[in-house]
A and B are shown apart, each in its own frame.
Chain A
């Protein structure tokens, strides 16, 4: 593939277009600094834009995210590169970094796309939709999701059969298969890492049967089922389309578990599971929902009340550690667990199981910098060099960290952390003119 090298200058480079990266970029931009926001995915908004509602207020997640994303996207001081990866970053002087970034071809000219979806309708291909966490298919010519930003089509070139059907129906001729990757050298004065988190692969814990038993889901899959832009018409079992009436949540699935290399608490699983349980009670009024937990960590503002509210609604809480899940012929699942209060081994049947999977750090962040060492903590999140006095400072002068790149935290804390990172970056920029 051909490459073109461009040299571009900005005041700040923000890596990661989730809620933390977006907030940090916006704070810098409104102060008058020119910001480049780089996102590896096809849309900004991160994980938050994919959620149904947020805890403990049960506000619509998309309703909070989209105005913010719109503000970020329209701000004259912010340039957004989606589908773009940062290769490496070099500190060339006390006041300058050079970042090599590669923009992958989208095969669509975003500015010309009207998101009419005619290309989607014409495309004959169907592959697993990663934005619906594999519950349903999508086309090779597709708009990632209905509230994506930019809301423009993209071509999944790995699955495209190059039939040209999308091009034929496109009213603006915005589809362009001649696009090639673009490599750019970005000259920036400061860097904010807002690289977010990953969720642990539940297949690392074969005892839960994820992937083998089709009615064992992850909480993100349930999140999509609860969202207005859901994959099915209601909550259904992916195994056979049955509307479930006896659901179980398994907390600490891949967190507080040294056997899978993640001994720390993910901080959000208790509350997002309680949130989903409450939403399920609304969506499936006749259903029983049971949450199997080790400890409920309702530490934040309004969290304990939210937990008590779930109990009041009839969510069943069982202090038990799941040892194994097995599947019955009808797709129902048997959970074998230790009742922590009595020490007895128990069994319970459910027709759908949701794994509240733990938060893990994204890979490759420590290798981003050339000639400088970005220190990571013992769990491989970005190490804060002074967590109390300067919570956003890293081991590299001029590089700041925001949101869950430092460790698990919820949405309000991510936004606070982004505020801290942007304040420190602004202060650094003013001092290093």
Chain B
């Protein structure tokens, strides 16, 4: 069967009968965490610990998601605090 170039994802989606449930769940979870973090950063720069307290999210989860958002270019690393311990993070507007 000839499948049009650039539309092959649709072909596989139809062949598999939809999107795998697990992939859908992971995307949903990431989007929720991304939204929470980016919303919180709208008010200004925050450290991982401050974000963790504000969002009531475990600090390792904040760190992981924040680092991923830095990698994807949505968040930037700011300055380090006076104690040279924690960096702040800000939105890449």
Contacts and interface: CB of A to CB of B under 8 A. Distances in A.
A241 B8 contact: no
A125 B8 contact: no
Contacts of A231: 67, 71
Given A124-B31, A167-B6, A178-B11, A239 B23 contact: no
B39 to A, nearest CB: 17
Nearest to B76: A233
A242 B24 contact: no
A189 to B, nearest CB: 39
B9 to A, nearest CB: 4
Given A126-B30, A158-B23, A243-B84, A136 B9 contact: no
Q: State the main secondary structure of chain A at its contact with B.
A: loop
B27 A125 contact: yes
* Interface size, A (range): 35 or more
Nearest to A136: B67
Contact of A160 (B23, B52, B62, B65): B23
Contacts of A159: 22-23, 26
Interface in A126-179: 126-127, 135-140, 158-164, 166-168, 170, 173, 175-178
A173 B5 contact: yes
B59 A240 contact: yes
* Nearest 9 A/B pairs, CB to CB: A137-B68, A241-B48, A164-B9, A177-B8, A177-B12, A214-B60, A240-B59, A162-B13, A126-B30
Interface of A: 121, 124-127, 135-140, 158-164, 166-168, 170, 173, 175-178, 214, 231-233, 236-243, 286, 331
Interface of B: 3, 5-13, 16, 19-20, 22-24, 26-27, 30-31, 34, 47-49, 52, 59-60, 62-68, 70-73, 77, 80, 84-87
19 contacts: A121-B72, A125-B26, A126-B68, A136-B67, A161-B20, A161-B24, A167-B6, A168-B6, A175-B9, A178-B11, A178-B12, A240-B48, A240-B49, A240-B52, A240-B86, A241-B48, A241-B87, A242-B48, A242-B86
